């Protein structure tokens, strides 16, 4: 159910209640989200909650509409973006990305065993190699040298990265469906199930971070 933004009988703006962004829009925490419907509901609410439209209301009501509007904007910006939406859901699930890596290191320290790297080794190698090429390209430019072969190689790598990025988004969507299946099952879905699927989501987001940074760096290096 949507959080009560307005009084049921008089229609006046109500104080914001602490809810998550999904509930703010009256949505279940599903990841496959109808963005067009979300947008529609955003515009509807934003018209009604806009502080300017409540200018003639009492100061208390104005204050509430300001708070509600800012919550609405945050909620909309977070939910309309597929990555931010997924990250937000993981945050709701209590997954702390940073903590995960730190506690894995602490465990490795205590047991003397090697920490399992979250990012697969071959991806790390690829990222490292490409970064070396990019550095070379930047150096060349600084010296005024031109190395068409290097430029071409980086261009190829860029295409392959973009393809990987697309593939990761598709992979992410398959885990969205798994997650949504759990939400649809309601209380029957166990904590273990939720943890298993959120683990997969974290994994895809991590790999995507690598690719995203690389694409950004490649673009910057090629444009300059």
- Residue 3: Cβ within 10 Å count: 16
Place of tokens 């959080």: 3
The residue (of 9 and 224) whose beta carbon lies closer to another protein is: 224
Q: Is 125 in the site for another protein (CB under 8 A)?
A: yes
Q: How far is CA 210 from the centre of its chain?
A: 14
- State the nearest-atom distance from the C-beta of 115 to another protein, in Å: 6
Residues 78-97 that bind another protein (CB under 8 A): 97
- Does residue number 158 form part of the binding site for another protein (CB under 8 A)? no
Task: Look at residue 55 and give its three-state secondary structure.
Answer: coil
One-character DSSP codes across 82-122:
HHHHHHHHHHHTT--HHHHHHHHHHHHHHH-PPPPPSS-HH
Residue 36 as a binder of another protein (CB under 8 A): the answer is no
Q: Which stretch binds another protein (CB under 8 A): 35-43, 119-127, 148-156, 182-190?
A: 119-127
Site mask for another protein (CB under 8 A), range 177-196, x = bound: --------------------
Confirm or reject binding of residue 214 to another protein (CB under 8 A).
yes
Could you please report the per-residue DSSP string of 146-170?
--HHHHHHHHHHHHHHHHHHHHHHH
Binding residues for another protein, rule: CB under 8 A, are 97-98, 101-102, 105, 108-109, 112, 114-115, 117-119, 121, 124-125, 127-128, 131-132, 135, 206-207, 209-210, 212-214
């Amino acid at each position: 159910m949507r959080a009560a933004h307005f009084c049921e009988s008089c229609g006046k703006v109500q104080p914001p209640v602490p809810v998550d962004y999904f509930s703010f829009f009256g949505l279940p925490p599903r990841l496959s989200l109808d963005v067009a419907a979300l947008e529609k509901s955003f515009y509807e609410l934003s018209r009604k909650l806009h502080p300017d439209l409540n200018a003639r209301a009492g100061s208390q009501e104005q204050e509430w509409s300001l708070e509600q509007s800012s919550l609405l904007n945050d909620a909309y910006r977070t939910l309309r973006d597929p990555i931010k939406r997924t990250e937000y859901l993981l945050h709701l699930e209590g997954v702390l990305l940073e903590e995960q890596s730190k506690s894995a290191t602490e465990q490795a320290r205590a047991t003397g065993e090697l920490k399992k790297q979250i990012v697969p080794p071959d991806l790390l190698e690829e990222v490292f190699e490409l970064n070396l090429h990019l550095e070379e390209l930047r150096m060349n430019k600084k010296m005024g040298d031109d190395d068409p072969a290097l430029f071409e190689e980086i261009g190829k790598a860029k295409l392959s990265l973009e393809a990987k990025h697309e593939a990761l988004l598709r992979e992410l969507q398959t885990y969205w469906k798994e997650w949504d299946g759990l939400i649809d099952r309601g209380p029957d879905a166990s904590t273990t199930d939720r943890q298993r699927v959120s683990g997969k989501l974290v994994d895809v987001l991590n790999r995507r971070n690598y690719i995203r940074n690389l694409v950004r760096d490649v673009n910057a290096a090629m444009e300059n």
